[in-house]
Amino acid sequence: MAATVRDVARRAGVSAMTVSRVVNNHPGVSAETRAKIEAAIAELDYAPSKIASGLISSRTQLIGMIVPDVSNPFFGPVVHGAEVEARRAGYRLLLCNSESDLRLERDYVEDLVQHRVEGLIIAPVSDRSAEHLRRLVTNGFPIVLLDRYIDGLPVDSVRLDNAAAADLLARHLIEKGHRRIAFVTDASNVSTARDRLAGLRKALSGAKVAFDDELVFRTTTDQLGGYRATQQILALSERPTAIFAVNNMIALGAMQALRQAGLSVPDDIALVCFDDIPHLAVISPFLTVIDQPAEQMAEAAAHLLLERISGSASGAAREVSFPGALIVRTSSGEAVPRRRRR
Amino acid sequence: MAATVRDVARRAGVSAMTVSRVVNNHPGVSAETRAKIEAAIAELDYAPSKIASGLISSRTQLIGMIVPDVSNPFFGPVVHGAEVEARRAGYRLLLCNSESDLRLERDYVEDLVQHRVEGLIIAPVSDRSAEHLRRLVTNGFPIVLLDRYIDGLPVDSVRLDNAAAADLLARHLIEKGHRRIAFVTDASNVSTARDRLAGLRKALSGAKVAFDDELVFRTTTDQLGGYRATQQILALSERPTAIFAVNNMIALGAMQALRQAGLSVPDDIALVCFDDIPHLAVISPFLTVIDQPAEQMAEAAAHLLLERISGSASGAAREVSFPGALIVRTSSGEAVPRRRRR
DNA sequence: TTGTAAGCGTTATCAC
DNA sequence: GTGATAACGCTTACAA
């Protein structure tokens, strides 16, 4: 296992170079010699070092991937999709969880560069990720932005058409009779949050419903954030008839808060969100959502990256955008005649 | 970015060695020299190559991780937990999805070795994984088995106490009045499948209920497998009053089949399984399950591995076992008076 | 405190 | 067809 080309060469009675040729399937080695070498490789349990060959070729066959958290039901499939596509090209994934922490993300980016990954697929924390990514872009380092894009950072990106999808989801709510729609969202420096809000505004304005800035609640994009924001929503003097959560985790937190307040969905208040929660519908076809094709998006991202790495694509940044699918279930039910407080 | 130690050295007017010392925080460099070098590093945007230093030190700071599928709600958290623990020690994760395919897993193992990862955390496909793992073990390569262990392979392992947890879950069903319990499971060469069946048998025998081998259904551990097995179960002349699914995906498939047959859970038939489905309970507190502390188990696995890598642990294989938590919800309801067919 | 030389395991290049 | 040599970017050992 700790054997080197030279060990194999000695054992087979040839030079290291010939061993290298056999290992890499280069032509011009006699069948006889090849057989001897293969025998020696097997006997010594020789495993060629990609680290040594990578040093020469600058090709590590490694791709860096940074997501906020693999255990999130959206990012799990994303990582899987990227890995599948990378595998097809003989690449492996170096996986990092940024925990939505800009500093940690920055450190990971630096570390991945030191590991000489050949490219990076990243779902950036926010627009501020540009601070550490721009340096790489300037140096021509291949990057693909996934899920979130960053204005002014000229790199390939793959994402949902969030504005259109949010418009679709909001129009559905409006059709159901909802007019006062609370929007629970992320910081405004995240493209998904911006685009989804834009979609909501578009739908409202299309229906001649005034947009109320007071109904936009900014919070952390986790369950706790959704929970807290919903508590604020319920404290409003004129309660909205629907909550539009910018993602699945926020919707779950909202659900907790609603249940705790003794409210039922959708009878007392409707709840919709982005991101389907995989498998949930099998047990309980409840949440009306915008479903994103997470695996496909990630495969597309990996594909774009591999094209940059291989040089088969060059030039201007490319944008790939997927449509979101509206899945209507029960949580978006009809708006009920308005009541004050409770 | 493509700068090397020598470039930095030239720019700072020192030798490459001194640059190396600064980069690695070695003592014995004057503050003045250090400052000059740091300036040069910044100017050149120098990123030391871990691939080059790894070649010398044989320390790549990489850990290989192989799971069947990150997008599975059990393995997502597992990968996250392992990454968090690895990160603490400055290690990165090379993530591979075996897709429960023995051949693919074998190829990944070989590839990870070639990449010179310093250790491997693996949730092996089955006992047959020993075929490719034994070679590494013999060579003293650090491996930790996660979730599933393999008899006769002397390596560290982390897992649930599956037999005890299955016993717990089965006793719960028995208390609810169930006597005919169908067990839908994996191939018998997977330790989790064996141990969970053993737990079920123990509970039955403890309750003086005869074990019926005809009620064990072996299938693939995915949704389709659960679906098909459940169809077979429903075709039985004497229908069981409960289904015990060996994991979450099988339970989902079972749920589909039951719903399609117009049966309701738990009124017509009870359904329980291993693995909670994260977030599901927030929306629908329905499935009675054995919950595994996935993140913690993975952190423990990474910890054991890092101890082997650093040499702070040596000697005999260690086994860490976690208790499963029985979470009783509604799907395990009382057994109803038996009916024939439907 | 700083520098020189050698080598980690490969492979590209050029001989033979 | 096969081999000698140098080099990839870094660090260990030794020297100054």
Closest to B71 measured CA to CA, from B107, B98, B91, B93: B98
Burial B36-66, CB ≥16 within 10 A → b, else e: bbeebbeebebbbbbbbbbbeeeebbbbbbb
Classify residue B339: in a domain, yes or no: no
Q: Which residue of B has its CA nearest to A137?
A: B1
How far is B145 from chain A, CA to nearest CA, in Å?
A: 20
| Residue A252 maps to a domain | yes
Largest Cα span, chain B: 90
Task: Judge: B1–A139 Cβ closer than 8 Å, yes or no.
Answer: yes
Q: Given this model, what pLDDT does residue B2 score? A: 85
Report the Cα–Cα distance between both ends of chain A, in Å, rounded: 71
pLDDT given for residue A2 in this prediction: 85
B178 lies in the same domain as B134 = no
Q: What average pLDDT score do residues A99-107 get?
A: 98
Specify the CATH number for the domain of residue B43: 1.10.260.40
Per-residue pLDDT of chain B (342 residues), as tens digits, is: 689 999 999 999 999 999 999 999 998 899 999 999 999 999 999 999 999 999 999 999 999 999 999 999 999 999 999 999 999 999 999 999 999 999 999 999 999 999 999 999 999 999 999 999 999 999 999 999 999 999 999 999 999 999 999 999 999 999 999 999 999 999 999 999 999 999 999 999 999 999 999 999 999 999 999 999 999 999 999 999 999 999 999 999 999 999 999 999 999 999 999 999 989 999 999 999 999 999 999 999 999 999 999 999 999 999 999 999 999 999 998 876 544 443
| Residue B337, in any domain of the structure | no
In terms of residue numbers, what domain contains A149?
Answer: 62-160+293-324
A108 shares its domain with A208:
no
pLDDT in tens, A138-168: 999 999 999 999 999 999 999 999 999 999 9
Report d(CA A125, CA A102) in Å as an integer: 6
- By Cβ distance, the residue of A76, A94, A284 closest to B284 is A284
- Does some domain include residue A275? yes
Residue A340: its H or E element = none
CA distance B176 to A203: 51
**Cα Rg of chain A, angstroms:** 26
Kindly determine whether the C-beta of residue A104 is less than 7 Å away from any atom of nucleic acid strand C: no
From A248, A286, A295, residue closest to B284, measured CB to CB: A286
Q: Where are the beta strands (DSSP E) in B70-127?
A: 92-97, 119-122
From CA B13, how far away is CA B341, in angstroms rounded? 89
* B191, part of any domain: yes
Say yes or no for a CB contact (<8 Å) between B278 and A50: no
Closest Cα partner for A138 from B325, B148, B2? Answer: B2
pLDDT in tens, A262-280: 999 999 999 999 999 989 9
Considering the domain architecture, whether residues A169 and A284 belong to the same structural domain is answered as: yes
The half-sphere exposure of B260 on its side-chain side, counting CA atoms within 13 A, is: 12
Q: How far apart are CA A119 and CA A141, in angstroms?
A: 7
B124 plus B175 within the same structural domain: no
User: Are A211 and A288 in a shared domain?
Assistant: yes
CA-only gyration radius of chain B, Å: 26
Which bases on strand C have an atom closer than 7 Å to a protein beta carbon? 1-5, 7-13
Asked if residue A267 and residue A178 are part of one domain, the reply reads yes
Quick check: A113 CB within 7 A of strand D? no
CATH number, domain at A74? 3.40.50.2300
Mean pLDDT of A299-308: 98
> Can you read off the two tokens belonging to residue B137?
């073990």
Q: How far is the CA of B120 from the C1' of C9 (A)?
A: 22
B185 shares its domain with B40? no
Handedness of CA A40, A44, A50, A56 (dihedral sign): negative
Q: How many domains does chain B divide into?
A: 3
| Predicted pLDDT of residue A336 | 64
- Asked whether the beta carbons of residue A45 and residue B139 sit closer than 8 angstroms, the reply is yes
A171 and A276 in a single domain? The answer is: yes
pLDDT reading at A339 higher than 60: no
Geometric angle at alpha carbon B295, from B291 and B299, rounded to 5°: 135
Distance from residue A32's CA to nucleotide C15's C1', rounded to whole Å:
23
CA distance B41 to B18: 12
**Is residue B314's beta carbon less than 7 angstroms from any atom in nucleic acid strand D?**
no
Instruction: Give the dihedral sign, CA B40/B43/B44/B45.
Output: positive
Whether residues A48 and A83 share a domain: the answer is: no
Give the orientation angle of helix B31-44 with respect to helix B5-12, to 10 degrees. 120
Q: What percent of chain A has pLDDT above 90?
A: 96
Rounded Cα distance between A110 and A136, Å, is 10
A284, B286: Cβ pair inside 8 Å? yes
Residue with the two structure tokens 């069903």: B173
- Residue A342: inside a domain, yes or no? no
User: Given A1, A92, A93, which is nearest B139 (Cβ)?
Assistant: A1
Residue after which a domain boundary falls, among A19, A40, A57: A57
What's the pLDDT score for residue B336?
64
Task: Quote the minimal CA–CA distance from B252 to chain A in Å.
Answer: 6
- The pLDDT of residue B28 is 85
Say how far A156 CA is from C15 C1', in Å: 46
The reply to whether A24 Cβ lies less than 7 angstroms from strand C is: yes
Q: How far is the CA of B132 from the C1' of D14 (A)?
A: 43
Same domain, B299 and B154: yes
Opening angle at CA B235, ends B232 and B238, nearest 5: 115
Within a domain: residue A338?
Answer: no
CB A105 within 8 A of CB A131: no
CA A187 vs CA A105, A184, A192, A227, A234: distances in Å: 17, 10, 10, 16, 21
3-state secondary structure of B213: helix
**Domain match, A191 and A280 both:** yes
- Average pLDDT on A214-220 reads 97
Query: In Å, how far are A27, B123, B124, B128 from B132, measured between CA atoms?
Result: 29, 13, 10, 8
pLDDT of residue B76: 98
Residue A340 within any structural domain of the chain: no
Share of chain A above pLDDT 70, in %: 98
Q: Tell me the one-letter amino acid at A327.
A: I
Q: What are the tokens at A49?
A: 């070092």
Question: In this structure, how many other beta carbons lie within 10 angstroms of the beta carbon of residue A4?
Answer: 15
Q: How far does the CA of B153 sit from the C1' of C12, in Å?
A: 42
User: Which nucleotides of chain D does any protein CB come within 7 A of?
Assistant: 1-5, 7-13
A1 CB contact with strand C at below 7 Å: no
- The residue in chain A having the minimum alpha-carbon distance to the alpha carbon of residue B95 is A93
CB B239 within 8 A of CB B213: no
pTM attached to this predicted model: 0.96
Do B260 and B168 belong to one domain? yes
B166-B168-B169 Cα angle (round to 5): 65
